[in-house]
Amino acid sequence: MRWKVFLGAAAMVAMAGWLAIPPASAQPAVSSLQGSPAEASQAPEIPVLRMRPAAEPVPALQYRLWPGRLELTPGNAFVRFQRAVLLMAQGGRDQSAATKDFWTKWDEFLELPPADLPAEDVRSALMFYRLALKEAHSARLLKDTEYGLPVEEFRGLEMIEILLPEFQEMRSLARVLQLEIRLAIAEQRYDDAIETLQVGFRLGESTGQAIDFLVARLVGLAISGVMLGEVENLIQAGNSPNLYWALASLPPSTSEVLESIRFEASFMSRIFTAFHQLPPPGLPAEVWEERAIQLFLDLQYLQSLNDASQENRDVNARLLAGLAIVGLADYSRGTLRDAGMDPQTVEAMSPAEAMVRATARSIQVIQDDFVKWSYVPAEVRDDYWKEAESRLNTSRGKRQPVADLGRIMANLLLPAMQSADAAGTRTQQTIARLVTIEAIRDYVAKQGQVPQRLDQLKDLPAWPDPYTGEPFGYERIDDRSAKLTRTERWSDDPEVTVILKFDE
């Protein structure tokens, strides 16, 4: 991963002339991993899940989608998954033509339900990656997941220059695991399918938890989403076991994203070190001017003007810093006085010190305004994050007065908090819906018919929809079928309702 923030020449001129062109939001980065809501057009037919009743297993934890504590052994799972990715790449280089054919077939296989897979073709395709799969399976029971990069110690441009290509490659490994799971389901090797699902969920956790960058969390969530899709396929397979407790035992790390949001919310302070841990008042104006110049040097680096000479970057930075100091001095002093700073102390500051201190305070206020809502319950924080983002963001193309540099920098660097958090909630909702379906499978196995209401599920209770904290929508159609409806994830969200049909 390399962060690139675009602060074009027009934005620089606008800053100097008291106008700002709002930057692109971080939303596209989230959408590219989770699927864009805008792509939903015409509502498809209501999907139907056909399954057989299945009672709760005895012992209850006979089937697991996550290893039991006593099964775990010392070791770093992330290292093994990295090796699996390298072995997968090596297999691709050794069999370049066959590898291309594999991915073409994979797309074809994905369109088929597991029962219709051509087993021999799938086995042949998976043989190209047998060493990578073996290495991935060896990570299943390893206790730890740690990348080892000291990201908490990174400051300044170190935060921008980090490349993380291996995290996206984890998705390719997940696709190979997905095909292995589908083959096991097709051949009714359910224990093998469950074991590979464990590998897939551990891969999602290792990818998302090994490092605090949001991109890693989102890739991990995407991998977990792939595995949950295969759980749904397994539930529909003939004589498949009930996975209520297997799903219930998935840990919070499967869908956790808040720590990464908090980490990335601190990016402004980590990158623009000139505005962090300020010295006491009274230093010469030149000290504060150099801090202002450093800000614009960093902004030009973020702008990726690598074709400009260092001399030109220095000249540009000094010019912009001078414009900002002169133009923002009065505004900055007013901001500091409004914040409760002693007026005499403020008036004694040089224009450069006033601008630097006001910008540093603005950065901290904006960061805290976002991070604070990550500490309240999920059903509460969503609306407040939307309000915080609406206060910060402006519509692209509108000419808005510049409030302060901190707000401009926040628009450039703060992640889309609410969208990222929603990605985790979507994973939680998928798990809760699958758990509720398994509770219904258990009820039908014992009572011979679907329940009239979800609150009749006593032996295995239904789970609430994480978006609302309320039960899923439910409607009984007849003795062997019902509708289950989840909360919309976005406007015009497709497939919010699924029909459950139970075979005899």
From the centroid of its chain, how far is CA 38?
A: 18
Residue-level pLDDT at 48: 93
**Co-location of 80 and 173 in the same domain:** yes
Residue type, 264: E
Residue-level pLDDT at 16: 31
Ordered strands of the 48-51 beta sheet: 48-51, 497-502, 481-485, 473-478
33-37, 153-157, 482-486 — which is least confidently predicted? 33-37
Rounded CA gap, 451 and 104, in Å?
Answer: 43
**Stretch 47-70: mean pLDDT:** 94
From the centroid of its chain, how far is CA 3?
A: 16
Rounded CA gap, 193 and 191, in Å?
Answer: 5
Residue 177 is assigned to a structural domain of this protein: yes
Query: What is the chain's Cα-based Rg?
Result: 27
Residue-level pLDDT at 213: 81
- Assign residue 226 a region: left if phi > 0, alpha if psi is -120 to 50, beta otherwise? alpha
Tokens describing residue 331: 């505004």
Rounded CA gap, 504 and 448, in Å?
Answer: 9
**Co-location of 113 and 233 in the same domain:** yes
Residue 143 is assigned to a structural domain of this protein: yes
Residue 1 is assigned to a structural domain of this protein: no
Q: DSSP class of residue 116? A: G
Residue 124 is assigned to a structural domain of this protein: yes
**Co-location of 186 and 309 in the same domain:** no
Q: Is the dihedral of CA 199, 204, 208, 209 positive or negative?
A: negative
Residue-level pLDDT at 402: 47
**Co-location of 73 and 186 in the same domain:** yes
**Stretch 138-143: mean pLDDT:** 94
Query: 259-271: per-residue pLDDT in tens?
Result: 888 877 777 777 7
**Stretch 42-55: mean pLDDT:** 85
Residue 248 is assigned to a structural domain of this protein: no
**Co-location of 406 and 420 in the same domain:** no
From the centroid of its chain, how far is CA 322?
A: 39
Residue-level pLDDT at 110: 79
Rounded CA gap, 370 and 258, in Å?
Answer: 11
Cβ atoms of 198 and 146 closer than 8 Å: no
Counting the structural domains of the chain, the total is 3
**pLDDT: is 275 or 89 the higher one?**
89
**Stretch 203-219: mean pLDDT:** 86
Closest CA to 405 of 502, 494, 291: 291
Residue-level pLDDT at 311: 53
- Asked whether the bond before 113 is cis by omega within 30 degrees of 0, the reply is no
Q: DSSP class of residue 238? A: T
**Co-location of 194 and 296 in the same domain:** no
pLDDT classification of 420: cutoffs 50, 70, 90: confident
213-222, 277-286, 343-352 — which is least confidently predicted? 277-286
Rounded CA gap, 136 and 354, in Å?
Answer: 55
Residue-level pLDDT at 12: 33
Query: 1-21: per-residue pLDDT in tens?
Result: 333 333 333 333 333 332 222
**pLDDT: is 279 or 36 the higher one?**
279
Rounded CA gap, 404 and 409, in Å?
Answer: 9
Residue 60: exposed, middle, or buried by beta-carbon count in 10 A (0-12, 13-18, 19+)?
A: middle
Residue type, 301: Y
**Stretch 83-105: mean pLDDT:** 72
Rounded CA gap, 27 and 490, in Å?
Answer: 14
**Co-location of 81 and 223 in the same domain:** yes
**Co-location of 77 and 198 in the same domain:** yes
Residue 33 is assigned to a structural domain of this protein: no
Residues with Cβ within 8 Å of residue 5, at least 6 apart in sequence = 23, 299, 302, 303, 412, 413
**Co-location of 175 and 301 in the same domain:** no
| 247 SS3 class | helix
Residue type, 471: P
**Partners of 482 in the β-ladder:** 476, 500
pTM more than 0.85 = no
**Partners of 117 in the β-ladder:** none
**Co-location of 219 and 343 in the same domain:** no
Residue 114 is assigned to a structural domain of this protein: yes
For every residue of 361-426, which 3-state class applies, written as one string?
Answer: HHHHHHHHHHHHHHHCCHHHHHHHHHHHHHHHCCCCCCCEECCCHHHHHHHHHCCCHHHHHHHHHH
Residue 49: exposed, middle, or buried by beta-carbon count in 10 A (0-12, 13-18, 19+)?
A: middle
Residue 178: exposed, middle, or buried by beta-carbon count in 10 A (0-12, 13-18, 19+)?
A: buried
Q: Is the dihedral of CA 444, 446, 452, 456 positive or negative?
A: negative
- Of the segments 88-92, 95-99, 189-193, which one has the largest average pLDDT value? 189-193
Residue-level pLDDT at 150: 63
57-61, 139-143, 309-313 — which is least confidently predicted? 309-313
- Pseudo-torsion of CA 462, 463, 469, 471, nearest 10°? -30
Q: Of 396, 413, 430, which residue constitutes the final position of a domain?
A: 413
Triad 62, 252, 469: Cα angle to 5°: 100
**Co-location of 79 and 228 in the same domain:** yes
Q: How many residues does the chain have?
A: 504
143-157, 191-205, 374-388 — which is least confidently predicted? 143-157
Residue-level pLDDT at 194: 97
Q: Which domain holds residue 70?
A: 64-240
**Co-location of 224 and 212 in the same domain:** yes
Number of neighbouring beta carbons within 10 Å of residue 293: 21
Residue 499 is assigned to a structural domain of this protein: yes
